[in-house]
């Protein structure tokens, strides 16, 4: 296997300062370096990966056992070894068919039953059949959760705005009281349903926010407050502790990772917003991508190709970050969602066997929607000293037929950015521009230097027909499996998250000190800051 890594490194070295643009001398390049499934196209041709490098990357996927591990995941094997768990979020979106056994039990019937209960509950809330304690229909829903119990539904609810025909959804996640205060300020408790979402039902932020919101409900509704609550969790015993009625509790199994959980009950706000039919479309899009990941040959397999581009940029080119740039305002929260999906999964320093990794793993993932980012950080993308591979997302069609002009501008800008990153602008051209602006002599050189773009900066583009529930399911699943592919190649466990624990433990220990207890055993900086914050 190290042979393949070496060959990939040699491939890059041999390419020297080859321009990506020169790869398009091959008239077939766009066709060879793009792949499509169910109307969604991934273009990886604007990278410096040539035919040999792509073959080597595919061999890397083969020899590291991507397909074998993928099949093990779908079969329900316990590939999350540090937590001794299967990884079966894929089962949440698969049609109930053949039995799928985990620990000797078929997991399909409970998944189907929970989905039916969610549908009934969502319909009853949406139709007004279930009313509030004051006999009014619920027009508002607050989801209280954090991390995977917030980012997925918050991102998806926003993405599917054109399909909203249910109550309005609000999200409280941060333990900062500002989040609860600002959300509750404009809401009427008599018309507000509260979903407390937490896989473990122990997360301090969520429990604190749930108590605050429960007090808010109680102040207005007295004992009726409890009937405004629903819960989503794997810890069914704990949901009873805050008095939530069992028929308002939607459970899921521990083999659904938090950051992979929006396909099940954690997706309840999505279902409340767009209805059960829309939610099932969302699941169908996801399942279609699952099938594609399982069935398509590796060189036509979107998650595999996207993962291999990630490996190329991270390990062969040594780029430390990647930017996700949706030219789709409704995907504004996608970068934040992907930060958890990607960085909590692959931000690891040891292999599955606990050995130090031989090469860097997950990059920093960041981004913002275009065109807004263009007027902010794109300066660095084009002329900064770090190369940041960019990942553009764009729909062929918008939801605003009356605003065609906007969408045309959006498309033109998206295409312009990937083109500009690739072609750049030479010093010679910049000099001509400077001359045209009236600069001469040394000043022309200086002005030209500032107007030069080295270009040759890679990007990929994901183009889809329209942002629908189906497409959104495809997009999220593409990224889930991309993270999987990269994790397998790095030899890490993408499904645990031990790195979040230390900070939680220290916060528990610091809380009494924040409240005035002596800061024993703390370093001088922490002591000094405690003093400063005590007032």
Binding site for ligand F6P (CB under 6 A): 146-149, 198-200, 203, 206, 258-259, 344, 497, 500
Element (H, E) at 274: helix 268-295
Q: Is the CB of 114 or the CB of 206 nearer to ligand F6P? A: 206
Give 11 or 143: the residue with its C-beta nearer to ligand F6P.
143
Closer Cβ to ligand F6P, 203 or 418, answer by number: 203
Establish how many alpha carbons lie within 13 A of residue 173's alpha carbon, considering only the half-sphere containing its beta carbon.
12
| Inter-residue contact 513 to 527 (CB < 8 Å) | no
Does residue 313 have an active-site annotation?
Answer: no
Q: Which is nearer to ligand F6P, 308 or 365 (CB)?
A: 365
Contact 197, 306 (CB under 8 A): no
Clarify whether 170 is annotated catalytic.
Answer: no
How is residue 176 annotated by DSSP?
S
The full length of the chain comes to 535
The answer to whether the peptide bond before residue 193 is cis (omega within 30 degrees of 0) is: no
Dist CA 311 CA 499 (whole Å): 22
For 459, phi then psi, to 5°, come to -155, 160
Q: Which of 468, 418, 427 is nearest to 446 (CA)?
A: 427
Q: Give the shortest CB-262-to-ligand F6P separation in angstroms.
A: 11
Closest CA to 413 of 367, 378, 366: 378
For the chain, counts of helices (H) and of strands (E): 21, 13
Catalytic residue selected from 205, 281, 344, 391:
344
Give least dist CB 179 to ligand F6P, A: 15
Task: Considering the complex, state which of residue 90 and residue 203 has its C-beta at the smaller distance from ligand F6P.
Answer: 203
Cβ of residue 151: shortest distance to ligand F6P, in angstroms?
A: 8
CB 275 within 8 A of CB 166: yes
Query: Based on CB atoms, which residue is closest to ligand F6P, 147 or 275?
Result: 147
Among residues 223, 375, 386, 501, the one annotated as catalytic is 375
At closest approach, how far in Å is the CB of 150 from ligand F6P? 8
> CB-wise, 199 or 292, nearer to ligand F6P?
199
Q: CA-CA distance, 269 to 105, in Å (whole number)?
A: 29
Apex 461 CA angle, 37 and 302, nearest 5 = 35
Helices 108-127, 268-295: inter-axial angle, 10-degree rounding:
140
Least spacing, CB of residue 399 vs ligand F6P, in Å: 30
375 tagged catalytic:
yes
Task: State the nearest-atom distance from the C-beta of 132 to ligand F6P, in Å.
Answer: 26
Task: Put residue 516 in one of left, alpha, beta given phi > 0 → left and psi -120 to 50 → alpha.
Answer: left
**Beta bridge pairs of residue 251:** 233
Q: How far is the CB of 203 from ligand F6P (least distance, A)?
A: 3
Q: Which residues are catalytic?
A: 344, 375, 504
């Amino acid at each position: 296997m190290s042979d393949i890594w070496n060959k990939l490194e040699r491939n890059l070295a041999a390419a020297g300062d080859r321009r990506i643009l020169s790869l398009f001398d091959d008239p077939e390049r766009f066709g060879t370096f793009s792949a499509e499934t169910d109307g969604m196209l991934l273009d990886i041709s604007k990278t410096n990966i040539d035919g040999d490098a792509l073959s080597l990357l595919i061999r890397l996927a083969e020899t590291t056992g991507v397909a074998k591990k993928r099949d093990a995941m779908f079969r329900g094997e316990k590939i999350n070894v540090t937590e001794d768990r299967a990884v079966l979020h894929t089962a949440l979106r698969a049609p109930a068919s053949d039995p799928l056994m985990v620990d000797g039990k078929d997991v399909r019937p409970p998944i189907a039953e929970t989905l039916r209960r969610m549908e009934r509950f969502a319909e009853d809330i949406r139709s007004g059949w279930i009313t509030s304690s004051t006999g009014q229909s619920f027009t508002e829903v607050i989801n209280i959760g954090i991390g995977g119990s917030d980012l997925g539904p918050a991102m998806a609810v926003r993405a599917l705005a054109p399909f909203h025909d249910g109550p309005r959804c609000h999200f409280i996640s941060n333990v900062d009281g500002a989040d609860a205060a600002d959300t509750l300020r404009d809401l009427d408790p008599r018309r507000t349903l509260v979903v407390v979402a937490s896989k473990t039902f122990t997360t301090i932020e969520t429990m604190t926010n749930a108590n605050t919101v429960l007090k808010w409900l109680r102040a207005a509704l007295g004992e009726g407050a409890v009937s405004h609550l629903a819960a989503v969790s794997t810890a069914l015993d704990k949901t009873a502790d805050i008095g939530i009625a069992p028929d308002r509790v939607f459970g899921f199994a521990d083999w659904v990772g938090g950051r992979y959980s929006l396909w099940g009950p954690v997706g309840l706000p999505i279902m409340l917003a767009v209805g059960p039919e829309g939610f099932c479309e969302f699941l169908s899009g996801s399942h279609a991508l699952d099938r594609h990941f399982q069935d398509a040959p590796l060189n036509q397999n979107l998650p595999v190709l996207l993962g291999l581009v990630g490996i190329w940029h991270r390990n062969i080119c040594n780029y430390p970050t990647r930017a996700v740039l949706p030219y789709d305002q409704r995907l504004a929260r996608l970068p934040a969602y992907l930060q958890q999906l990607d960085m909590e999964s692959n931000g690891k320093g040891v292999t599955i066997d606990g050995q130090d990794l031989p090469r860097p793993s997950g990059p920093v993932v960041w981004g913002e929607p275009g065109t807004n980012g263009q007027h902010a950080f794109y300066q660095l993308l084009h002329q900064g000293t770090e190369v940041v591979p960019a990942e553009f997302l764009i729909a062929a069609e918008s939801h605003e037929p009356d605003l065609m002009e906007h969408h045309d501008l959006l498309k033109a800008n998206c295409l312009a950015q990937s083109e500009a990153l690739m072609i750049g602008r030479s010093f010679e051209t910049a000099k001509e521009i400077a001359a045209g602006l009236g600069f001469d002599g040394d000043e022309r050189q200086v002005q030209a230097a500032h107007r030069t773009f080295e270009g040759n900066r890679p990007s990929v583009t994901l183009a889809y027909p329209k942002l629908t529930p189906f497409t959104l399911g495809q997009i999220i699943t593409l990224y889930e499996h991309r993270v999987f592919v990269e994790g397998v190649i790095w030899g890490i466990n993408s499904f645990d998250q031990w790195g979040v624990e230390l900070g939680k433990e220290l916060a528990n220990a610091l809380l009494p000190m924040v409240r005035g207890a002596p800061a024993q055993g703390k370093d001088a900086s922490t002591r000094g800051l405690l003093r400063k914050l005590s007032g």
